Structure formats: structure tokens, C-alpha cells
Structure 1
Amino acid sequence: MVEKLLSAPAFCGAKLTIHLDRVCANWRKLADMTAPKARCAAVVKADAYGTGAAITAKALYDAGARTFFTAIPSEGITVREVCPDAEIYILGGLFHGRAGTYELHGLRPVLNSLEEIEEWRLFNLGRETALPAAIHIDTGMNRLGLTLDEAEELGTKRFEDVKPFLSLLMTHLSCADEPTHPLNALQLERFKKMRGFFPGVPASMANSAGVFLGEEYHMDIARPGIAVYGGNPIPERENPMQAVASIHAEVVQVRWVEEGHGIGYSASLTATKRSRIAVISAGYADGLHRLAGSSDEKDGAHFFVGGHFVPLAGRVSMDLIALDVTHVPEDLVRRGTLVEVLGDNVLVDDLAKHAHTISYELLTGLGRRYHRVYSDGSNQPEAMA
């Protein structure tokens, strides 16, 4: 109750809006691209990429998604509470000694090693109907999954042992966001060969970027993540997805800084002329990275206010960011004005680039101090106060 009160508009300096209609529109776009050959799942790990797993998964379920992927069991349990009959796979695998948790909540482990496969096989012994699970084959990521030799031996010598519970065979693309990278075709060739050792088992390969590699990569189930949340799946191309998250931070003070004076910590940026500076209530404690700031040596990110892009002036501090609004009419930027930090004008991939990171890290790292609002497209999110 206290946490809910403190996240109300009157107690917050910035607002985070999650556009659920756009989440669903992005997912439907990807589902249309993979249909009719492949079903489209949704990856909702890391709190649905920072958007809130329970609310976002329910919206995706209502839009037609019936298969979800999370990283760990607790995330899967959250999704199960709002999607009672969905297929929920746990990408992190079968955590040691916790098979009962998966059974209790109807979760499907993605078995990443022979050891995990054996533990799940033993857990299923004596059951009339085996509990489903996926098997992950490493075709070039070199992270999780069976080696090619392990997969071939399992398929040729022990397929009958795993057949009762094997609901999905999957691999993970390493370089799909680089469409011409030779590893994409090599992984496809390897996975096709591995599928031959597990006849009749549905397969999954395409992540967000993989969906855009073409039908051959779609297999039976595609599992997009970042594209559902508005990130650009192919960075070298124009983003085909809609922006999902928007942040608006309140101006808490407007001041003039004289030429030659430093702005912010370490005076990293020196005013080259008399400048009007607006300070907003947001900072790196809200997930806005310090590297997005500016200095005398480098430009920083730009935010958007009053129809104008405005540059960050100096460092991003814990709770505050200074903006140079000298070129914006004074009546458009005052104490209480809301500045777009992220949204339709300040794109998540552009902001991430200025922060020397990626959209995944930016979205999943958004802090807890925002007044969080969910919009279905029919409602106008309320003002801060």
C-alpha cells in the first residue's frame, strides 16, 4: 500500500508510460510475418523487458499469444498467474533439485545439458503422461545447450528415452542482428542436421532479428523479445516496430548560466554563451545512463520538449539532468513542464547508442521511482499532478 501511494503522480518526478496497444501491435506484426508456417511466442523475461511481466503478458495473451519464454522459474510463475493455460518455457533450464517447482506451476524447462535431461527423465519415470520440456542445442552461441556431438548421440542412441517429454527442440542465433553474418547460415545448416535426429519434434530458432532473416529460420515457433517492446531488431535498417515505453520527466528549475561557467559535476561542460538551463527530475537512479551526458569533448543525448530537441548539458547525475533549452521559447519550458526523455521522438535505440549500450539494457534497467502508467490506446495517460 505504501509503495503504491509513493508511486502516485504527486510523489514522483517522472512518468513511465507503457503502451500496451503498441506491445500487442508489435507482436501481431511479428505473428503475421511468421504465419501460417510458424506460431509466434513472446519472450517476457526480465519483467517483460522492464514493462511489467504480469500486465504485459496478460495483454499479449489477450492478443493471442499462447506460448511464453522466461529466464527463471519465478518469472514463469508470474506469467502463469495471468495466463492459466499458456505454454511457459524457462530458458535458464532445470535448476538443480527443483523439478517439483516446474511441475507445480506447469513450467517447461529448456534442458541445456545431458545432466538436466537425465534429472528430468528420472523425475518423469512412472508417470502415465510425461511433463513436457524443451532441449536446447548449441549451434554456435557457445553459451548454453548441448554440443553438436552430444545432441547427435542423444538423438541416435537415446531418442526413445526423451521422446515422451520432448515438446520442443531449440537453438539460439548468435548474430541474427547482422543479416549477412556467415554464422547465421552456418547455424541454420547445423540445426537442420540436428533436427533430423529428433523426428517429429517441433523446432524453434528465430529470435526477434531471426524473424527478419526469412521463413527458413521461422521453424515451428518463433520467439521474439526486444522487437515486441519496440527495440530495432535489425539496427542497420529503419526500425519497423512501434515505440512501447515513454518517459516524461518534470522540470524542477530553469536558470541562466553565464558564458564560461561549468555545468554539473566536475564542470564537464562549459557554457560557450549565456545559456538557459532546465533541470529535470530524473537521473541514473532511474536507469538513465551516465554515459548519455555531454562534456566539452563530446556531445550527449538529446531529449524533446516544446517541439524541439534539446541537448543534455553536462553529466547525468543520480537524480537530475540538466538540459540546454536556450533555443526553445521561454514560455514552452517552465517549472513543471514535462520533457520527453524516451518515446516517439527520443527513440530507445538512439538513447541507448548515446549511452554506449543497447536498448535491452536500457529498458530492463529502468528504475522503480517512476509513476508508471499503462495505456491501451483509448485512454490518455494522466498528467503528473
Structure 2
Amino acid sequence: MAQATLTIDLSALRSNWRNLNSMTQGETGAVVKADAYGLGAGEVAKALMKEGATTFFVALTEEGVALRKAIGSGPVINVFSGHMPGDAMALRDANLTPMLNSIDQMLNHVETLPGHPFGVQLDTGMNRLGMEPAEWSALRDIALSQRPTLIMSHLACADEPDHPMNAHQLQVFHQMTDGLDVPLSLSATGGILLGPDYHFDLCRPGIGLYGGLPFVEAAPVVSLDVPVIQVRDVTPGESVGYGNSWVARTPARIATIAAGYADGLIRAMGPKAHVWAGETRCKIIGRVSMDMIAVDVTALEDVPETVEMLGMHQFADTLADAAGTIGYEILTSLGQRYRRRYLGA
């Protein structure tokens, strides 16, 4: 079988949620947008519900509808993109809570779904989503009269603890929300690690649940084992892969493994990335192609049936460094061709 196996350890996921939850005094939810960062939102949310999570966040109404079908009627599902045109019936039928980002969204929501729960997202300096201070000042009394369930903002630089933007956004958030009798939320994973001043009533970890930075103490959640299709010996002067980009200088043994950029293994990582065969690190050589990658296995006495692309020896952040990107992109790019296996379900 040439299909690679993506294993998601739900016990490790639950452990990461418990550890992050233990750092806070209020409620801890979970961000499961982008299909739980590529790992399966339904399975992830159901596992976290067993730990006590009752509030989830998605990016799109369509994601919320799918999640509601998977987890049933109890938990709160908040939608970061708010109330977009055409969303009303889906928000109502799936009982989703939009985080309203503008006056237009507020008017649309009140007109099309009067009495339906909503939250408000404020822009404290990231300039991405949310109401800016002047807009919020004009709308604040009207919004509060409709009894929002949550008021939130998002930190732009929380993965850099010493960045002055963190303190600036905290100050602006206080200015926009102090004295309000509404649950408040500012922090995702990085904000939790900044300390209690950033926690407010609800924290909403994302990447830290899945084993990624900046939560350095996270348990690894994902492993990816890729089958070896073929092994060949090459002589000095022979090249491997597209463009003759790698040429053997000495006799070498090369394994071709069954995954590529169609599976989310970014092409740019090729020159710097490795896989693991047991305790031996093996360099990826040549160009990452659509379905296959070449690996130098010269150092191995016996070539295993599979090699580890992600797992105990390297997580998504390691591959991300090789590709010049971030662990988020590696996780959310993981393709649909993998055989998925859930542990601790």
C-alpha cells in the first residue's frame, strides 16, 4: 500500500487542552477552524468535549454547520467571519453565534435574525477584522442593548512575548471594554502564555492544542508515516528527480517515498528537510514532486517500509522552518490522500 498514514493522537490533544486550561482562571474554548487545522474538526471537538470544552470557534458559517452536525446541539459554536450576506438561515438552523465585525454586519444581523445570539469582534490594532474604536463607540450602546454573548479581539504578535504590540493591544482592549458586563476574550495560545493580564473571561487556544509553537511544552499530536516505494543505488554523477537538481558525488542509496506537494508537503522544503528512519535522520534530496520525494538512505543498513515525516522526532514547525513558512501552513495543508488514524478516540 502506497498510501501514507496520518495519525492524530487525541489523548495528546486532550492533554494539551488540559495544560492550557490549567493556566487560566476563566473558560477555555478551542479554535477548530480549517477542519481543526487539518486534523478533523468533528473528531477533535468531540475529544475536547470529553475534557469539558463547551465553546468552539470556526472561521466560516459553513464550517460551523458541518461542526454542528458532528457534535450535536449543546456546545456554543462562534463564527469569526461574522454574519455575511446569505448566512441567516444557516446561522439560525445550526444555532451558530456570529462574531459581528462591523456596523453593516450588526444591522444585517438585527434585521434578519432578531433575538439570535451574537458576539462582537473589536479591532485593537491588528487591522484585520473587527470594529475600530470610533466605530465601536458609535455602536456600543445599541450593541449592548442586544445583549451580546461575547466581546473579543485578537493579538497580532502574541508569539513574540516582548513585542510592544501586545501591551498596546491590551491597553486598547481595556479602553474599549472596561466596565462592560459581557464576557471578554483576547487570547489564543500565545496570549495564554503571556499571562493572566491577557486572559479575561475566555481563552481560545488553537495551534497549541495541536502541538505547535509557541506552546513549547505541548505534547505531539500528529505523526505522518510515508511508505517507501522503491530503493535504488546511484553512482557518482547520476542525478535524481526533476531538473537534475541533485547529483550524487559519491555512491548513494536513494529511497523514493509516496508523498509530495499534493499531500501538503511544500515543495520549497526540499533542500533543507529530512525524514527519520528509526533514530536515523535521512536527508530529502532533489525536488519535492507532486506524489513522490527522494530520500538519501545511504546510512541505513536496512531500509524500513515507512519513514517518519512528522512525529516524535520532528513536528510541523521543523518542516515549516525548512520551507520558510510556519507550522500552521504545514498542518492546514495536509492533504486528503492520507489514511487517517485516530488514537484515544
Q: TM-score range by the shorter chain?
A: over 0.9
Amino acid at match of 2:29: A
Aligned partners of 1:18 and 1:244 also within 8 Å: yes
Aligned partners of 2:327 and 2:338: how far apart in 1? 18
Give the deviation of 1:124 after TM superposition: 4.7
Residue from 30, 40, 60 that aligns with 2:20: 30
Asked if residue 192 in structure 1 is aligned to residue 174 in structure 2, the reply is yes
Aligned partners of 2:143 and 2:9: how far apart in 1? 45
Aligned partners of 2:35 and 2:255: how far apart in 1? 32
The residue aligned with 1:383 is none
The residue aligned with 1:135 is 120
Asked if residue 310 in structure 1 is aligned to residue 299 in structure 2, the reply is no
Residue from 289, 293, 304 that aligns with 1:321: 293
Residue from 38, 46, 52 that aligns with 1:58: 46
Aligned partners of 1:142 and 1:23: how far apart in 2? 31
Asked if residue 111 in structure 1 is aligned to residue 111 in structure 2, the reply is no
The residue aligned with 2:221 is 244
Residue from 141, 145, 164 that aligns with 2:146: 164
Aligned-residue Cα RMSD (Å) equals 1.4
Residue from 43, 67, 70 that aligns with 2:31: 43
Aligned partners of 1:61 and 1:230: how far apart in 2? 18
Aligned partners of 1:163 and 1:309: how far apart in 2? 60
Aligned partners of 2:37 and 2:331 also within 8 Å: yes
Q: Is the alpha carbon distance of 1:94 and 1:160 closer, same or farther for their aligned partners in structure 2, counting shifts above 3 Å?
A: closer
The residue aligned with 1:13 is 3
Render the CA deviation track for 1:323-343: whole Å, top value 9, x for unaligned: 1111121x2x05xx1100111
Amino acid at match of 1:202: P
The residue aligned with 1:220 is 201
The residue aligned with 1:348 is 316
Give the deviation of 1:31 after TM superposition: 0.7
Aligned partners of 1:211 and 1:175: how far apart in 2? 13
1:154 aligns to what SS in structure 2? helix
Aligned length: 344
Aligned partners of 2:185 and 2:145: how far apart in 1? 17
Amino acid at match of 1:315: R
Aligned partners of 1:302 and 1:309 also within 8 Å: yes
Aligned partners of 1:262 and 1:269 also within 8 Å: yes
Asked if residue 276 in structure 1 is aligned to residue 264 in structure 2, the reply is no
Asked if residue 368 in structure 1 is aligned to residue 312 in structure 2, the reply is no
Amino acid at match of 2:51: A
Aligned partners of 2:308 and 2:219: how far apart in 1? 16
Asked if residue 255 in structure 1 is aligned to residue 244 in structure 2, the reply is no
Give the deviation of 1:98 after TM superposition: 2.3
Aligned partners of 1:307 and 1:28: how far apart in 2? 30
2:291 aligns to what SS in structure 1? coil
Give the deviation of 1:160 after TM superposition: 4.8
Residue from 58, 76, 96 that aligns with 2:64: 76
Aligned partners of 2:13 and 2:94: how far apart in 1? 26
TM-score normalised according to structure 2 size: 0.96
Give the deviation of 1:357 after TM superposition: 1.2
Q: Is the alpha carbon distance of 1:161 and 1:189 closer, same or farther for their aligned partners in structure 2, counting shifts above 3 Å?
A: closer
Amino acid at match of 1:191: F
The residue aligned with 1:285 is 262
Aligned partners of 2:38 and 2:331 also within 8 Å: yes
Q: Which runs of 5+ in 1 are unaligned?
A: 1-9, 295-299, 378-385
Give the deviation of 1:199 after TM superposition: 1.5
2:226 aligns to what SS in structure 1? strand
**Misfit runs of 4+, over 4 Å:** none
Aligned partners of 1:50 and 1:114: how far apart in 2? 32
Percent identity, please. 44
Residue from 152, 177, 182 that aligns with 1:201: 182
